[in-house]
Amino acid sequence: MIENIDHIAIAVSDLESALERFMALTGIAPGNIRIEEVPSEKVRVAFIPLGGSKIELLEPMGNDSPIGKFLQKRGEGLHHIALETADIEAETSRAAAEGLQPISPPSTGAGNKKIVFFNPKDTNRVLVEFVQKL
């Protein structure tokens, strides 16, 4: 079962500049923000907590990364919506049975969470991610 919105991800070209804007917008103090790198995805991420959810800012670590390619093609903006589940395999199978195809098998993403993305062609042109805390 999908439990809640884990995060909304925004692709940015300059993480520090975007963080300044989002901290000003939300009033979240720098000490509450977590920044990490995900080498497998060639991306730096910042998590801004908001209630039970987060805004995730994504900065590419190179133009050949998925986020780098996204920025080249579409520019900055909404990248994906992540939905939390306690059982990613069961939810992925359930969604696939409904005709929603994952882009790839589950893998490990930011925050050491298990993740899987679904084809935006199946979800009204919005990239959707399932996440499971490990």
> 99: domain CATH number?
3.10.180.10
Asked if residue 54 has pLDDT above 90, the reply is yes
Into how many domains does the chain fold? Answer: 1
111 — pLDDT class (breaks 50, 70, 90): confident
pTM: 0.92
How many helices (H) and strands (E) the chain has is answered by 3, 8
CA 41/CA 46 separation, integer angstroms: 14
Q: Do 83 and 130 contact (CB within 8 A), yes or no?
A: yes
* Domain boundaries, position 50: 2-133
Q: Above 90 in pLDDT, residue 71?
A: yes
pLDDT tens-place string over residues 3-13:
999 999 999 99
